[in-house]
Amino acid sequence: MSKNNDTPSNTPEVLVKVEGLSKKFCKDLKTSLWYGVKDLMSGVRGSTSTNEHALRHKEFWAVKDINFELRRGECLGLIGHNGAGKSTLLKILNGLINPDAGSVTIKGRVGALIELGAGFNPILSGRENIYNNGAILGFSRKEIDTKLDKIIAFSELEEFIDMPVQHYSSGMKVRLGFAVAAQMEPDVLIIDEVLAVGDLGFVLKCFKTIDTILPNTAIIFVSHNMPMVSRICNQIILMEHGCAKFQGQEVGKAIDLYYTRFANNKSNVVLDDGSLALDKIEILNKKNINDVAQVEWGSDLTMDLTFKNNTLKELPLFNITIFDKEQRPVALLEPNTERSDITFSTNEIQFRITHENLQLSKGVYSVNVSVNNMKSKEPYLRINGVLDFQMINEIETWPPFLLEANYAMI
Ligand SMILES: Nc1ncnc2c1ncn2[C@@H]1O[C@H](COP(=O)(O)OP(=O)(O)OP(=O)(O)O)[C@@H](O)[C@H]1O
């Protein structure tokens, strides 16, 4: 199949077209087998006893009415909670399972990296599996011969290439799988979460390869790793219980929605020696929507904190850290000193903390508070996730800060 097979208008051709795709599963094996027998019998009789769009007792939609088109040069990210239906959708696309409704049209060769080790014969060596997989992709033995060295070199498995794949580690299987899938120059490349088990060096190499092949390939990428998704995808489907909850090219918006689903206001006391207890923490200049405090980009972040003082005789040190949605610390609010304006009594400790012009980029953040002895740094109290807040801004960005900038002629 030609790689420069563009439509006359010069828009890259559509390589994947998915229309009304749905797949239902049954929660119970016995019932599922019984439905299977019933369907088989009605198939033999030539009647259709079931409506493919209806659910029977104990059935549920693993994938429900998914529609999209993907062109050469585009990368679709599939994100969503565990069990949302991402892998099922990929398996339908790869022809591993049949849908109950809808259709899939794929043009060209499909390279897939779906389940770890799937597609490999465990008793065959890495080298033999390369030939097997190449043949499945439609390459002749001669064509595979010409690509073999490149595939082995990419996988960095030279030493182990004649060992049975069943003795490979998870990372080694992924290396071999990705090397075959990518080096065979597929028209459509399907990648499931499997990249997560590769080491950093290999993942970086995979990204570089994806960048190289993307102009000629349509890629479908499933991941829970949002930095990876934002790095390579130009469109997203956020799946929830089989359905597309969000679909479009606003990658940042989809990622934001994904994170909001996991935001919770449950705090977690990880250390408490009883010296003091947090009574109240509140963001002041916020808009409250759906229980999540919203802070406008560029406005001040002001929080009031009140602690019940049980035994402390001297002002402690307060560390307030802001974490992003991946639980990476992104900022520490400058700790207090002995001279800071803090109400300190034998019953209560109270203060207002302000950071002016907060320029964290759009997204959900959480706040951790730790309290230590001012001099010895001995810990009294540490609470993770005391509150969540959402930065709001029109500009979608992935980097943690969106810094105000002035432009001038020079
Ligand atoms: N063969 C099957 N029989 C019955 N139920 C299945 C089968 N395969 C998947 N499911 C169910 O379908 C739903 C979707 O599963 P799927 O593996 O597609 O989710 P996912 O979004 O890929 O999840 P994860 O993020 O955990 O990989 C789940 O409830 C799962 O239990």
DSSP string, 55-70: PPTTEEEEEEEEEEEE
Same domain, 252 and 111: yes
Ligand 1, atom 18, lies closest to the CA of 85
Ligand 1, atom 12, lies closest to the CA of 62
CA–centroid distance, residue 317 to ligand 1 (Å): 48
Same domain, 246 and 168: yes
Give the predicted TM-score (pTM) of the model: 0.75
Ligand 1, atom 1, lies closest to the CA of 25
Ligand 1, atom 27, lies closest to the CA of 82
CATH code of residue 159:
3.40.50.300
CA–centroid distance, residue 82 to ligand 1 (Å): 8
Atom of ligand 1 nearest to the CA of 85: 18
Q: What is the ipTM for the molecules in this complex?
A: 0.96
Ligand 1, atom 26, lies closest to the CA of 82
In a domain, 29, yes or no: no
Protein residues whose CB sits closer than 6 Å to any atom of ligand 1: 25, 62, 80, 82-88
User: Percentage helix, strand, coil, to 5, in the chain?
Assistant: 25, 35, 40
Ligand 1, atom 2, lies closest to the CA of 25
Of 222, 244, 262, the residue at which a domain comes to its end is 262
CA–centroid distance, residue 202 to ligand 1 (Å): 27
Same domain, 214 and 336: no
- Other beta carbons less than 10 A from residue 136's beta carbon: 15
Cβ–Cβ < 8 Å for 81, 261: yes
Same domain, 246 and 275: no
Residue 349 scores a pLDDT above 90: yes
H/E element, 254: helix 251-262
Q: Which has more pLDDT, 28 or 220?
A: 220
Ligand 1, atom 5, lies closest to the CA of 25
Cβ–Cβ < 8 Å for 165, 173: yes
Average pLDDT value for residue range 1-13: 57
Specify the pLDDT at position 67. 97
Of 209, 241, 262, the residue at which a domain comes to its end is 262
Q: Which amino acid is at 51?
A: N
Tell me which residue of 148, 61, 70 sits closest to 104, measured CA to CA: 70
Structural domain span for residue 346: 268-392
In a domain, 340, yes or no: yes
Same domain, 248 and 293: no
Atom of ligand 1 nearest to the CA of 91: 18
Same domain, 198 and 284: no
Same domain, 206 and 349: no
In a domain, 63, yes or no: no
In a domain, 219, yes or no: yes
Written as six digits, the tokens of 387 are 């509150």
Same domain, 214 and 95: yes
Ligand 1, atom 16, lies closest to the CA of 85
H/E element, 135: helix 126-136
In a domain, 407, yes or no: no
Specify the pLDDT at position 362. 86
In a domain, 48, yes or no: no
In a domain, 225, yes or no: yes
pLDDT tens track for 248-284: 998 888 887 887 777 665 668 889 999 999 999 999 9
Same domain, 247 and 150: yes
Of 195, 227, 262, the residue at which a domain comes to its end is 262
Average pLDDT value for residue range 186-209: 84
Average pLDDT value for residue range 365-385: 94
Same domain, 274 and 258: no
Whose structure tokens read 């465990």? Answer: 122
Atom of ligand 1 nearest to the CA of 90: 18
Best substitution site from 27, 66, 88 to test ligand 1's pocket, by max atoms within 8 Å of Cβ? 88
Specify the pLDDT at position 1. 39
CATH code of residue 283:
2.60.40.770
Atom of ligand 1 nearest to the CA of 81: 25
In a domain, 373, yes or no: yes
CA–centroid distance, residue 25 to ligand 1 (Å): 9
Same domain, 202 and 255: yes
What's the CA gap between 321 and 330, in Å, rounded?
Answer: 8
pLDDT tens track for 90-108: 999 988 899 999 999 999 9
Query: How many domains are there within the chain?
Result: 2
Same domain, 87 and 221: yes
